[in-house]
Structure 1
Amino acid sequence: MMTHKIILAGCGGMSNEWLKYAAERENADIVGLVDLYEKQAVKRAKEHGLNVPIFTDLSAAIEETGANLVFDVTIPSSHKQIVTTALQAGCNVFGEKPMAESLEDALEMIKLTEQTGKRYSVMQNRRFLKKIRALRQTLKTDVIGTVGSIHANFFLGPHFGGFRDLMDHVLILDMAIHTFDQARFLTRADPVSVYCHEYNPPGSWYKGNASAICIFEMSDGSVFSYNGSWCAEGLPTSWESEWRVTGSKGTAKWDGIHHPIVETVDESNQDGFMRSYHRMEIPDTWEGREGHSGCLDDMFDALEHDRLAETDCTDNIKSIAMVLGAVESAKTGNKIEIGI
């Protein structure tokens, strides 16, 4: 069995899930922590009972520990530097989203994986949920017919503090990629174009725009609409968003919490102004683990069986292209073609 010697980069980030996972996995060991702020790394090491060296430089950490895998949980602006350093040093990388702050950077990172023969996969934990997997499988079976449109509503009011409060496009850059990636996952389609209106509503505690409405044309001819806010107080949606998928035979809905439901036209009763429908609840069938654990399971399995992870950078670039296209559209006021 392959042994994974892991460096965790960015100890001040959301690293608890990653550390817990590594501690549980028999063939994985944390061999070092890296953070520009050494105190953050010391704190994280104490929290998890880790007796490992602490570094402020990733290259030195990899060289001294012999690491072959880097967990990148740094802030988005550091991802390119961390991933590039790790790949060039001969390490595979599992990283937090988004993979890059520009499409050019993302393409350079993919090119580097090809040059080094190493893998870079991105954490998209919201793909790895039983209920979204159930909804995806139902759409695949043609229960609601050909999908014409998919709609996601996302309304929450988290008070993070820190770097998010200062980001220019906080909702789109830091959070919407989850929903955009889920839309690709559900439809098995990729983005063709986007129009986005971004704004910062009254009462927002963010410097940048914390709300947005986006319309994506997808490669299968369907339309994906996103309506979201990260400064919406009261009546919150789930973090998984609220979903409605309309097809030629019916509609599927998922509130992000409970089982998805489907209503299809009752073919035995075609009379009347409004048709009658059959309703059913979609059961769970996927047996994998959920969230971060499920995504990390897939990443490790991909390395150990020499295949691409579901969230490999070569796939995830299509989700980040949706993000960056939406930002460009918001800036220019124009519809943007997405050429990935």
Structure 2
Amino acid sequence: MNGVTGRMGHRQHLVRSILAIREQGGVDLGDGTTVWPEPVLVGRREAALHALAREHGLDPGNTSTDLDAVLADDSIDVYFDAQVTSARVDALKKAIAAGKHVYAEKPSATGLDDALELARLARVAGVKHGVVQDKLFLPGLRKLARLVESGFFGRILSVRGEFGYWVFEGDQQQAQRPSWNYRARDGGGITLDMFPHWEYVLHELFGRVRSVQALAVTHVPRRWDEQGEPYTATADDAVYGIFELDGGAVAQLNSSWTVRVNRDELVEFQVDGTEGSAVAGLRGCRVQHRAVTPKPVWDPDVPVTHAFREDWQEVPDNAGFDNGFKAQWELFLRHVCADTPYTWDLFAAARGVQLAELGLRSAAEGRRVQVPELTL
């Protein structure tokens, strides 16, 4: 596990996924076999790795600052990467060449050519490969998928999404995201961070993205890093996108690290169809069917007395929902050990990188850009 001293690698992948899987006794393959993950922590700072291992009751001997030596160890089956994006491609290439199955945070690369090369290399090497697509496993999105599969919406007309929160600049209050996110040379920028998410959400729930029109901006050009030093932000901190989908639906998705939250959750999607609508967040999902839709009339001279939110019905859980990162880790481990089907691979990740790349091109050129269907 490379990059576990970082925020996502530590909290979501080590603690809430791998260690949680160990706490539950491993992953049951259903045939009497249990997969027991034994993490080897890899990073640049030996002291930090040792401290992390001791904190979680792991053997400090299972840590290393030498990735090449770890990849040469025949007892290691899977390489996981949660490094900064700019370091990911070279590390994944090394792991694939060493015959390791690979699993990585998204995006898999900063550009489409590298993303496709990784997918091709993994296919030729015959290794299993996967990329984190955690939003699909959120309770709210799983409820939304259930509605789509049931035909609740009728013909889907549009998808509206709002994601984001205020990331402090780092002067008066410490920033809650690392500074590399705001440096283009390090693979930063919210377009590269979020468009890969939106690609797989749109692709799996509503249809393939056929075109993108985006405006990517840097609203806050000056920030302060982890040492309290000011720096110039060279990557976008907000992007506003319009996506045309197969079937004719239109998606409008705003992503911003410079917005103050005035919604129920940090991300919300509204889906409108001919037969009904839904609003889904991280955990909750509310619906309104055509038969019970109120009939608003626009009249700016009369105070609004109707409580529109009360017209919506909460979708019940009807199932248990585990941590999304952990759920995908379990599926990937089953894929590696039992060859169960798995679709969220490096090729799927390349589609997300493609959308981010084309979104940035759209923003730079000020026009709508077609999204070609990818092939390996």
TM-score range, shorter chain: 0.7 to 0.9
User: 1:258 deviation in Å?
Assistant: 5.4
What one-letter code is carried by the residue in structure 2 that aligns with 1:43?
A: A
Q: Structure 1, residues 21-71: CA drift from partner, whole Å, max 9, x if none? A: 333333334353322333332332232232234333322112236211111
Structure 2: any 5+ residue segments left out of the alignment? 27-34, 168-174, 224-232, 299-310
Name the structure, 1 or 2, with higher relative contact order (CA <8 Å, separation 6+).
2
The residue number in structure 2 matching 1:261 is 286
Question: Per-residue deviation at 1:213?
Answer: 0.8
Matched, 1:80 2:89: yes
CA contact (8 A) 2:122 2:129 kept: yes
Aligned residue in 2 for 1:45: 53
Correspondent of 2:136 among 116, 127, 135: 127
How has the CA–CA distance of structure 1 residues 308 and 101 changed in structure 2, closer, same or farther, with 3 Å as cutoff?
A: farther
1:249 corresponds to 2:279 = no
Alpha-carbon shift at residue 120 of structure 1 (Å) = 1.5
Query: What's the CA shift for 1:209?
Result: 1.7
Q: State the partner residue of 2:330.
A: 297
Q: 1:161 aligns with which of 140, 163, 178?
A: 178
2:260 match: 233
Does structure 2 conserve the Cα–Cα contact (< 8 Å) formed by 1:69 and 1:93?
yes
Kindly report structure 1 stretches of 4+ aligned residues shifted beyond 6 Å: 269-274
Please, what TM-score do these two structures have when normalized by structure 2?
Answer: 0.78
Look up the equivalent residue of 1:96 and give its one-letter code: E
Once the two structures are superposed, residues 153-182 of structure 1 have per-residue CA deviations (whole angstroms, 9 ceiling, x without a partner) of 113013223311323752111234334432
2:196 to 164, 172, 177: 177
Q: Is the 8 A contact 1:32 1:55 kept in 2?
A: yes
| Residues 138 and 283, structure 2, Cα contact 8 Å, conserved in 1 | no
Q: Which residues in structure 2 correspond to 1:68-217 (within 5 Å)?
A: 68-158=77-167, 159=175, 160-167=177-184, 170-187=189-206, 189-201=207-219, 205=223, 206-217=233-244
1:5 — aligned with what?
Answer: none
Q: Which amino acid aligns with 1:170?
A: G
Question: What amino acid is the match of 1:72?
Answer: D
Residue type at the aligned position of 1:208: A
Give distance in 2, aligned partners of 1:272 and 1:237: 23
Shift of 1:309: 2.1
Question: Which residue pairs with 2:9 in the alignment?
Answer: 15
Q: Distance in 1 between matches of 2:154 and 2:211?
A: 24
Native 8 Å contact 1:194 1:335 kept in 2? yes
Contact 1:130 1:285 (C-alpha < 8 Å) held by counterparts = no
Mapped contact 1:172–1:323 kept (Cα < 8 A): yes
Which moved further from structure 2: 278-287 or 147-156?
A: 278-287
CA distance in 2, matches of 1:212, 1:263: 29
Give the count of matched residue pairs.
Answer: 328
Q: Percent identity?
A: 23
Q: What's the offset of the Cα at 1:101? A: 0.8
Residue 96 (structure 1) shift: 0.8
Which whole-Å deviations, capped at 9, do the CAs of 1:198-234 have from their partners, x for residues lacking one? 1122587444221111111112321111112112235
Report if aligned partners of 1:204, 1:210 keep a CA contact under 8 Å in 2. no
Aligned to 1:62: 71
The residue type equivalent to 2:351 in the other structure is K
Whole-Å Cα distance in 1 between the matches of residues 295 and 42 of structure 2? 67
- Please state whether the residue corresponding to 2:252 is helix, strand or coil: strand
Q: What amino acid is the match of 1:265? A: R
Amino acid at match of 1:251: S
- The secondary structure found in structure 2 opposite 1:214 is strand
Q: Is the 8 A contact 2:182 2:236 kept in 1?
A: no
Does the Cα contact within 8 Å between 2:196 and 2:352 map onto a contact in 1?
yes
Q: 1:279 to 1:9 in 2, by over 3 A?
A: closer
The residue that corresponds to 1:3 in the other structure is none
Tell me which residue corresponds to 2:44: 36
Shift of 1:122: 0.9
Amino acid at match of 1:73: A
Residue identity matched to 2:272: T
Residue 15 of structure 1 aligns to a residue whose secondary structure is helix
CA shift for structure 1 position 273: 7.7
TM-score (norm 1): 0.86
Moved more, 24-33 or 59-68: 24-33
Unaligned stretches of 5+ in structure 1?
1-7
- Structure 1: how far apart are the matches of 2:295 and 2:139? 37
Match of 2:370 among 330, 337, 340: 337
Q: Could you report, residue by residue, the CA deviation over 1:242-267 in whole angstroms, capped at 9, with x for unpaired residues?
A: 1111112222212x155322222229
RMSD of the TM alignment (CA)?
2.8
1: distance between equivalents of 2:283 and 2:103?
A: 30
